[in-house]
């Protein structure tokens, strides 16, 4: 059975920054018949639930991995190391389970694919990928944002 990594919050795990989840019927339909590897890179990187909102500043997840951008909370606290550590743990889990694809939470500084919050904490979006999405893509895992959430 083909394995797919899915953001844990999309599978009903209350691990989002606000302590909630984003489970939806659309996600369950998208993964039907596949082995699902649920994973929250932010929690895996050592962050608590709930936690302060965080956004990418100075670029997207690719830039964070390259050391030219960072991830900061709305208080200004730098959580880049936790996000990078969580992304590396997600990649290790995906490789271990043989995932070739990931279905991730849209707009997230970890899991966003194609569009993320712009770092202003105003709800504005900008093109880019989250840290985990970028690392998975760089390592040959196809990343798709979930729909219906």
Helix (H) or strand (E) holding 102: strand 101-104
Relative to beta strand 125-127, strand 35-39 is unpaired
Query: Can you give the pLDDT at residue 18?
Result: 98
Q: Which residue has the tokens 């965080």?
A: 54
Q: Higher confidence at residue 96 or residue 148?
A: 96
Where in the sequence is the domain holding 98, given as residue range(s)? 3-145
| pLDDT category of residue 87 using cuts at 50, 70 and 90 | very high
pLDDT band of 39, cuts 50, 70, 90? very high
- Count of domains in the chain? 1
User: Average pLDDT for residues 95-109, to the nearest whole number?
Assistant: 98
Per-residue pLDDT band for 148 (boundaries 50, 70, 90) equals confident
Q: How far is it, in rounded angstroms, from Cα 89 to Cα 40?
A: 9
Q: What is the pLDDT of residue 1?
A: 80
Q: Quick one: CA dihedral 77, 80, 83, 86, positive or negative?
A: negative
- CA dist 24 and 11 (Å) reads 8
DSSP character string of 40-83 = -HHHHTT--SS---EEEESS-HHHHHTTS-EEEETTS-B-HHHH
Calculate mean pLDDT across residues 129-148: 96
Task: Judge if pTM exceeds 0.85.
Answer: yes
Q: What does the alpha-carbon distance between residue 93 and residue 17 come to, in Å, rounded to a whole number?
A: 21
């Amino acid at each position: 059975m083909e394995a797919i990594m899915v953001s844990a919050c999309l599978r009903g795990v209350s691990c989002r920054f606000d302590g909630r989840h984003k489970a939806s019927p659309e996600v369950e339909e998208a993964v039907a018949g596949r082995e699902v590897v649920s994973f929250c890179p932010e929690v895996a990187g050592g962050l608590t639930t709930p936690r302060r909102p965080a956004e990418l500043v100075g670029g997207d997840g690719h830039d964070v991995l390259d050391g030219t951008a960072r991830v900061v909370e709305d208080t200004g606290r730098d959580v880049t190391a936790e996000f990078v550590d969580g992304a590396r743990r997600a990649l290790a889990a995906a490789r271990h389970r043989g995932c070739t694809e990931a279905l991730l939470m849209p707009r997230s500084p970890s899991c966003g694919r194609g569009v993320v919050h712009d770092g202003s904490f105003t709800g504005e979006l900008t093109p880019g990928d989250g840290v985990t999405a970028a690392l998975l893509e760089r390592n040959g895992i196809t990343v798709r944002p979930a729909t219906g959430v």
